[in-house]
Amino acid sequence: MPPPPQNIFKGLPPLVFSQREIEKIGLHPTGRLRLLDGFIEPSGGATSEVAQQEARIRSLTKEIANRQREINTLGDEVERLPNLRASLKHSREQQQAQEGQSAEIAQKSKQLDELSQKIALLSREIEELDRLDLELNVAYGSLSDATQAIEGDWLKTLNSDSSRAIAANVLDIGNDLRTATNRIDALSEPINSATNQARMRRGELEAEARHLRSEVEALSAGAGAIAATIQQLDAEIRKCESVVERRQARQSSIDQLKIQRAELLQTLEEAWQRTFEKRKLVAADINAKFAPLIKADVEQFGYTAPYSGLLRNMMQGSGIQYSEVSKKIASTVSPRELGEWVEDFDTRALAQAIGISEDRAAKIIWAISQNDLGDLFVLKVEDSVQFYLQDQSKHKPLNALSTGQQCTVILPIILNETGRVLIFDQPEDHIDNAFIVGTLVKSMRERAKDDQLLVASHNANIPVLGNATRVTQMGSTGDRGFLLVSNSLDVPEVVEAITNVMEGGIEAFDARSKFYHAEP
């Protein structure tokens, strides 16, 4: 009498495969990838860490876009600066050429210059307050994003005592972040008050300057006009110089944000590389075990369909014939590289990479830039996995095989999975007896040394040749099933149940059992 059945579902849950799943699992790229990844030991916490990195990359990309838009609005002011400086130089040369200026004009001009300097200082103060308000708003948004990430639902999934204890500290960090957010929010009113006071004072000085300028112009139309022009040009130059400083500060902050993002992207790419190396090892193991009949191949970043699909969505409604160009980009340019080109509006790089004109590349980049580039930067182009079956002198991919041949490839690979209970429903359908005897049963017997396998089958050869530990025969009334017999393979009632359905009867049972039990 065999020992009573034990709890076989400790640890990882069992893998259950119906006949249809066995037939279809290898026909789709994601199915083949999942099949290969089943042999890779999962790393605890990696999924949560990747999600946090992706969220941070999205946040940084959004900040970069916002600051780049601000720089774009400052472009005209920067371009005016050389012409303003040239005009100011010319006006001062005219002023120096004039002689006989009255002392009164000189005095009022000096007063006007002093007012202009005060107005310029107030203008810079207002710009600095505006900049401070903007930076605090950005910090407020980043802290809010961080608070949401820390207080997310992922904390509820922690089960161990140690992780829950740490989670309490994480929640404390979330409270600190909320406190910091509230403190930033409290600064809004004093900033607005200081800004309004500076604007009011600047308005008063500007009114005083206008009055003084009119007096100077009245005393000497020619000299006054030149002086007024100099004062106006000087004020505009100061304003443009302030804009240049803001532009440089924004560009510097963008450069820093890109460095932070690049570090996160590098971490992700290194993780992707490690996964690819593990997949190559799994494929090599499959090839070593099943060659030359079955072959596995892994192409890094070979599954580009989701990438090209994202590009099609980004370019929809742009008037671009995006179907072919999206495939070309996806097969040639990495998402990260494309995202950086779009941010820099590098039409030449894209044109050269995929062999199109710069005008067309500009239209593509513009269309993509209207979307959230965070989706592009965090997109992982998956590896492509393909399985082959030797047919005469060459290997054929799964999509070129019959249903039976596809199962001939997939079943041994699934049976190579260790550390899990496998459950099959009629795996022998569509498979010829030669494969059942030569490969399927052999794989089952190899697996039985370490892991449990449950098979529902109409083929009596499988339990006999597979040296089953327990055989269960079911009957049916048409409405429900019921147990007929369940015992070890050498129990007479089990032998009788098998010989009743096995071609050749008891003689075949004895012959096959002795032959396969005698194998080394």
Q: Which three-class secondary structure string do you get for 407-431?
A: HHHHHHHHHCCCCCCEEEECCCCCC
**Of 324, 410, 402, 318, nearest in space to 366 by CA:** 318
Q: How many CB atoms lie within 10 A of CB 389?
A: 20
**Structure confidence by residue, pLDDT tens digits, 439-459:** 677 777 776 566 788 888 777
Supply the pLDDT for residue 520: 39
Q: How many CB atoms lie within 10 A of CB 420?
A: 15
Supply the pLDDT for residue 483: 87
pTM: 0.63
What is the distance between the alpha carbons of residues 15 and 259, in angstroms, rounded to a whole number?
43
User: CA angle 412-416-420, nearest 5°?
Assistant: 125
**Of 351, 321, 349, 348, nearest in space to 337 by CA:** 349
Contact of 179 with 187, CB cutoff 8 Å: no
Contact of 441 with 428, CB cutoff 8 Å: no
Cβ-Cβ contacts under 8 Å for 443 (sequence gap 6 or more): 411, 412, 415, 416
Which pair of structure tokens corresponds to residue 241?
């110089």
By DSSP bridging, strand 394-397 and strand 382-391 are: antiparallel
What is the distance between the alpha carbons of residues 447 and 417, in angstroms, rounded to a whole number?
8
Supply the pLDDT for residue 459: 76
What is the distance between the alpha carbons of residues 80 and 210, in angstroms, rounded to a whole number?
24
Please state which of the ranges 237-246, 396-405, 449-458, 508-517 shows the lowest mean pLDDT: 508-517
Residue 59 CA, chain-centre distance (Å), reads 12
What is the distance between the alpha carbons of residues 384 and 133, in angstroms, rounded to a whole number?
49
By DSSP bridging, strand 15-17 and strand 382-391 are: unpaired
Please state which of the ranges 102-116, 199-213, 389-403 shows the lowest mean pLDDT: 102-116
Supply the pLDDT for residue 433: 66
Supply the pLDDT for residue 451: 75
Cβ-Cβ contacts under 8 Å for 209 (sequence gap 6 or more): 112, 115, 116, 119, 231
Mean pLDDT of the chain: 82
pLDDT confidence bin for 2, thresholds 50/70/90: very low
3-class secondary-structure state, position 475? strand
Q: Which residue has the higher pLDDT, 173 or 375?
A: 375
Percentages of the chain per state (helix, strand, coil), in multiples of 5: 70, 10, 20
Residue in the block written with tokens 């799994």: 282
Instruction: Tell me 12's DSSP state.
Output: S
pLDDT above 50: residue 1: no
Residue in the block written with tokens 């203008």: 123
Contact of 396 with 16, CB cutoff 8 Å: no
pLDDT above 60: residue 510: no
What is the distance between the alpha carbons of residues 421 and 216, in angstroms, rounded to a whole number?
97
pLDDT above 80: residue 85: yes
Residue in the block written with tokens 């192409």: 299
**Structure confidence by residue, pLDDT tens digits, 393-433:** 889 998 888 777 787 788 888 887 777 788 878 776 666 66
